[in-house]
Amino acid sequence: MIAQILLADDDPDIRGFIGDYLTTKGHRMILADDGFQLAAKAAEHRPHLIITDVQMPGAYGSSAYQILQKDENTRNIPLIFISGHPYERVAPILPNDPKTRFLHKPLDLKKLEALIVELLPMGGYCP
């Protein structure tokens, strides 16, 4: 499975780590460093999946999610929220949506891969 994935995180090391790993798995990566860029790039590229940090300067990933839900072209994109905070702390701002998941940082890359397969059972982008 190869997917076009939008990754948004304000930490360049995390963007690099996750982006490089998923690129080695054959995925095409689009990178953003805040929620505003996430919303704009999602509208422009319409990725198969979005991975976003919950809390970022400018706009949280959860705020960008609200924007994506208002756009017919982006409302059905599955999304994985990531955070260094425990789930219990960020749960109040996360959507209750069957196409969203949560992973705690530091990320377990095998769990990330399993969620990608779960959220994209029919695959993603084929070059």
pTM: 0.93
Q: Specify the range with the lowest mean pLDDT, choosing from 42-56, 58-72, 85-99, 112-126.
A: 112-126
Whole-number average pLDDT of the chain? 91
Please give the backbone phi and psi of residue 73, each rounded to the nearest 5 degrees, phi first. -80, -15
pLDDT at 26 over 70: yes
**pLDDT of 95 over the 70 cut:** yes
Mean pLDDT of 90-112: 94
Structural domains of the chain, count: 1
Domain boundaries, position 77 = 4-100
Residue with more model confidence, 125 or 105 = 105
Tens of pLDDT, residue by residue over 8-22, are: 999 999 999 999 999
Tell me how far CA of residue 6 lies from CA of 15, 26, 30, 52, 92, in angstroms.
Answer: 10, 14, 5, 8, 24
Q: Is the pLDDT of residue 1 over 70?
A: no
Q: CB-side exposure of 65: number of CA atoms within 13 Å?
A: 23
* Whole-number pLDDT of residue 89: 93
Does residue 110 lie in a domain region?
A: no
Percent with pLDDT over 90 in the chain: 80
Q: Could you tell me if residue 89 is inside a domain? A: yes
CATH at 28: 3.40.50.2300
Residues 36 and 95: their CA atoms lie apart, in Å, by: 18
> Encoding tokens for residue 48?
């198969």
Give pLDDT, residue 56.
Answer: 86
Q: Is the pLDDT of residue 82 over 70?
A: yes
Q: Is residue 63 part of a domain?
A: yes
